[in-house]
C-alpha cells in the first residue's frame, strides 16, 4: 500500500512539474494538487461514503428516475427483495434510470442503479444476476479501488481547498467527471470473476436460481455497445458464462 501511494504521488508531481514548465502556474496550486493526489490513495471508508453520496446524488439529478409505481421500479423492487437490503451491513437503495442505455452499477454507500435499457433486454433472473454482480464489486472492495483511481485522476487537475474533506475538494464539473469515471470503471479479469462468484454465491445462499448470470452474459456478448454501457466497463465473455455454468453443474 505504501508503494502504491508513492507511485501515485510521484506520477502526480511529475505531471505537475511538466505543466509548470509550459506556462505561468501557481506553485501553491501545484502543491495542493499533489497533496490531493496522494490523499486519493488513502481514502478512508468515510471519504468513500461521502464521495459515493455526492456522486450518486449528482447522477440522480442528471437522469430521469422511474416512479415508484412504474413497471420498471416494481420489477426492481421484486428483485431487490430477493437479493436483500444491505451490502456488508450498508443499507441499499434501488432505483431505475429511464434510458435506452444498457448499464447497472452500485456504489459503496448502497446506491444501486439499474438502467431501463438493461431491464428491457433481460428477464428478472438475468437482471438479478447482473445486480448481484455489481453488489459484489462493492462488497469485495473493488469499487473503493476504482474510486481511488477516479479521484486521483480528478485530483491532479484540482486547485480547490481540501479543508472541507475530499468530497468538498471537487468542483461541480470535476464531480461530474469523477462520477462518470466511477460508473465506467474498468475492472480486472480477476475482479470480474470474483464479482461473478459473489453473485452466484449470494443467489445460492438465498435459494435462488443463478442461471440468469449465464444467459445475461450471453445476451451482453451479442448486444451492441454504447456510451456509458456495461458492455464496455464489464466485458462479457464465453469463459465467464462457462465458469458459472460449471458451478451450476457441480452445485458448488
Q: Looking at 62, 126, 134, 192, which residue is catalytic?
A: 134
* 126: annotated active-site residue: no
Q: How far is 227 from 102, CA to CA, in rounded Å?
A: 9
Q: Are 148 and 137 in contact (CB under 8 A)?
A: no
Q: Are 156 and 33 in contact (CB under 8 A)?
A: yes
Q: Are 52 and 111 in contact (CB under 8 A)?
A: yes
| 155, three cell numbers | 485530483
In three-state secondary structure terms, 39 is helix
| 21, three cell numbers | 514548465
| 194, three cell numbers | 470474483
Q: Are 183 and 103 in contact (CB under 8 A)?
A: yes
| 24, three cell numbers | 505561468
* H runs (alpha helix) in 65-171: 71-83, 116-121, 124-139, 142-155
Q: How far is 166 from 36, CA to CA, in rounded Å?
A: 8
HSE-up (13 A, CA, CB side) for residue 147: 29
Active site (catalytic) residues? 134
Amino acid at each position: 500500500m505504501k508503494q502504491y501511494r508513492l507511485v501515485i504521488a510521484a506520477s502526480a508531481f511529475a505531471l505537475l512539474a511538466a505543466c509548470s514548465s509550459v506556462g505561468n502556474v501557481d506553485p501553491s496550486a501545484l502543491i495542493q494538487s499533489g497533496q490531493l493526489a496522494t490523499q486519493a490513495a488513502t481514502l478512508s471508508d468515510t471519504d468513500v461514503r461521502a464521495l459515493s453520496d455526492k456522486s450518486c446524488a449528482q447522477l440522480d439529478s442528471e437522469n430521469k428516475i422511474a416512479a415508484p409505481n412504474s413497471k420498471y421500479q416494481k420489477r426492481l423492487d421484486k428483485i431487490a427483495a430477493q437479493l436483500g437490503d444491505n451490502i456488508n451491513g450498508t443499507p441499499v437503495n434501488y432505483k431505475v434510470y429511464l434510458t435506452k442505455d444498457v448499464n447497472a452499477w452500485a456504489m459503496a454507500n448502497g446506491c444501486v442503479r439499474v438502467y431501463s435499457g438493461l431491464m428491457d433486454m433481460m428477464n428478472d433472473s438475468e437482471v438479478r444476476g447482473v445486480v448481484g454482480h455489481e453488489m459484489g464489486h462493492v462488497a469485495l472492495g473493488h469499487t473503493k479501488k476504482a474510486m481511488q483511481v477516479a479521484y486521483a485522476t480528478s485530483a491532479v487537475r484540482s486547485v480547490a481547498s481540501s479543508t472541507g474533506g475530499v468530497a468538498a475538494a471537487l468542483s461541480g464539473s470535476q464531480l461530474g467527471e469523477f462520477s462518470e469515471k466511477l460508473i465506467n470503471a474498468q475492472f480486472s479479469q480477476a475482479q470480474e470473476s470474483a464479482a461473478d462468484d459473489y453473485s452466484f454465491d449470494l443467489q445460492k445462499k438465498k435459494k435462488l436460481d443463478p442461471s440468469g448470470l449465464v444467459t445475461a452474459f450471453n445476451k451482453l456478448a451479442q448486444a451492441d455497445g454504447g456510451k456509458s454501457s456495461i458492455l464496455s466497463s464489464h466485458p462479457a465473455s464465453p469463459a465467464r458464462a462457462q465458469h458459472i455454468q460449471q458451478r451450476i453443474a457441480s452445485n458448488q
